[in-house]
Chain A
Amino acid sequence: MMSKLFKIFSVNSLLVPLVAVVMGLIVGAIIMLIGGYDPLLAYGSLFKTVFGNVYDFGETIREITPLIMTGLAVAFAFRAGLFNIGAEGQYIVGMTAATAVGIKLSGLPIVVHALVAIIAGGLAGGIWAGITGYLKAKRGVNEVIISIMLNWTALYFSNYIVRNFLLEKGQQRSEEIKDTASISIGWLSTAFDNARMHWGTIIAILAAVFFFIYMWKSKQGYELRAVGHNGHAAQYAGMSVKKNIVKAMFISGVFAGLGGAFQVLGVFHYQAIFTGSPGIGFDGIAVALIGLNHPFGILLSASLFGILTYGSAGMSFGAEVPPEIIRIVIGSIIFFIAAQGIVRWVLKPFYLKRKKEKVL
Chain B
Amino acid sequence: MKKMFKLSLIMLLAFSVVLAGCGKKKEETGATGSEPAGDAKSSIKVGLVTDVGGVNDKSFNESAWEALDALKKDKGIEAQYLQSKSKEDYVTNLNKYVKGKYDLTWGIGFDLGQDMKTVADQNPDAHLAIIDATVDSPNVRSITFAENEGAFLVGVVAGKMTKTGKVGFVGGSEIPVIKRFEAGFKAGVKAANPNVEVKINYTGAFDKPDQGKAAAATMYNDGVDIIFHASGATGTGVFNEAIARNKAGGSKVWVIGVDKDQSLEFGDDVTLTSMVKGVTTAVDKVTREVIDGQFKGGSEVLGLKENGVGLADTSSKNVPADVLKAVDEFKEKIISGEIKVPEE
The chain A residues found within 8 Å of chain B, CB to CB, are 11-12, 15, 18-19, 22, 38, 40-41, 43-45, 47-48, 53, 55-56, 59, 62-63, 159, 170-173, 193-194, 196, 267-268, 272-273, 275-276, 278-279, 310, 313-314, 316-318, 320, 323, 350, 353-354, 357
19 A-B pairs besides A317-B82, A320-B80, A323-B54 with CB distance below 8 A are A11-B4, A41-B29, A43-B18, A44-B23, A55-B99, A56-B92, A172-B111, A194-B122, A196-B91, A273-B173, A273-B204, A310-B92, A313-B82, A313-B96, A316-B82, A317-B80, A317-B100, A323-B83, A354-B4
B343: shortest Cβ distance to chain A, in Å?
A: 11
A11, A53, A275: the one within 8 Å of B99 (CB): A53
Q: Are B26 and A275 in contact (CB under 8 A)?
A: no
A59→B18 CA distance, assembly (Å): 25
- The chain A residue sitting closest to B211, CB to CB, is A275
B88 within 8 A of A: yes
In the complex, which residues of chain A have a beta carbon less than 8 angstroms from the beta carbon of B247? Answer: none
Which chain B positions have C-beta within 8 A of A276? Answer: 205, 207-208
B87 within 8 A of A: yes
B25 and A18 contact, CB distance less than 8 A: no
Asked if B325 is an interface residue, CB under 8 A from chain A, the answer is no
Given contacts A12-B4, A350-B4, contact A313 B92 (CB under 8 A): yes
Contacts A47-B22, A194-B122 known; A350 to B96 CB distance under 8 Å? no
Q: Which of B15, B85, B88, B205 contacts A22 (CB 8 A)?
A: B15
Most buried by A among B8, B92, B111, B208: B92
Q: Decide: A18 near B8, CB < 8 A? Known: A276-B205, A276-B208, A310-B92.
A: yes
Question: Is residue B21 within 8 Å, beta carbon to beta carbon, of the partner chain?
Answer: yes
Determine if A41 and B22 form an interchain contact, defined as CB atoms under 8 angstroms apart: yes
Smallest CB–CB gap between B39 and chain A, Å? 20
CA distance A273 to B86 in the complex (A): 12
* B1-36 near A? 1/0 per residue, CB < 8 Å: 101110110010001001101110110010000000
The one of A193, A278, A316, A354 that contacts B83, using a Cβ cutoff of 8 Å? A316
B175 at the interface (CB under 8 A from A): yes
> Do A44 and B25 touch (CB < 8 A)?
yes
Residues of B within 8 A of A40 (CB): 18, 21-22, 25
Taking the nearest CB of chain B, how far is it from the CB of A23, in angstroms?
A: 11
Q: Which of A53, A63, A171, A267 lies at the interface centre, i.e. has the most chain B CB atoms within 10 A of its CB?
A: A171
* CB-based A-B contact count at 8 angstroms: 99
How many chain B residues touch A (Cβ–Cβ < 8 Å)?
A: 45
Encode B205-220 as 1/0 by CB contact (under 8 A) with A: 1111000000000000
Instruction: Compute how far the CA of A89 lies from the CA of B87 in the bound complex, rounded to whole angstroms.
Output: 18
| Contact A353 B83, beta carbon cutoff 8 Å | no
A323 to B220, CA, bound (A): 36
Q: CA separation between A173 and B176, bound complex, in Å?
A: 13
User: Please, how many angstroms separate the alpha-carbon atoms of A276 and B85 in the complex?
Assistant: 11
Those of B187-222 within 8 Å (CB) of chain A: 204-208
Residues 225 to 265 of chain B near chain A (Cβ within 8 Å): none
Output the residue of B21, B26, B205 with the most chain A CB within 10 A.
B26
Residues in A neighbouring B174, C-beta threshold 8 A: 172
Question: Per a CB cutoff under 8 Å, which of B4, B122, B207 touches A275?
Answer: B207
CB of B85 within 8 A of CB of A323, answer: yes
By beta carbon, the residue of chain B nearest A56 is B92
Q: Which residues of B contact A53 (CB under 8 A)?
A: 99
Q: Report if B89 contacts A (CB, 8 A).
A: yes
Q: Which residues of A contact B88 (CB under 8 A)?
A: 62-63, 267
When the two chains form their complex, are residues B87 and A272 in contact, meaning their CB atoms are under 8 A apart? yes
How distant is the Cα of A44 from the Cα of B16 in the complex, in angstroms? Answer: 11
Does the CB pair A45–B26 fall under 8 Å?
Answer: yes
Contacts of B54 in A (CB 8 A): 323
Assess A11 versus B1: contact at CB under 8 Å? Given A18-B11, A38-B25, A171-B175: yes
Docked CA distance A317–B47 (Å): 10
Residues A44 and B205 in contact, CB atoms below 8 Å apart: no
Residues of B near A273 (CB, < 8 A) are 173, 204
Instruction: Tell whether, in the assembled complex, residue A275 and residue B204 are in contact, meaning their CB atoms are under 8 Å apart.
Output: yes
Residues A278 and B26 in contact in the complex (CB < 8 Å), given A12-B4, A273-B173: no
Give 27 CB contacts A-B under 8 Å. Answer: A11-B5, A12-B4, A15-B8, A18-B11, A19-B11, A22-B11, A41-B26, A44-B26, A45-B26, A53-B99, A62-B88, A159-B204, A170-B176, A172-B174, A194-B122, A268-B87, A273-B173, A276-B205, A276-B208, A278-B86, A279-B86, A314-B96, A316-B82, A316-B83, A317-B96, A350-B3, A357-B3
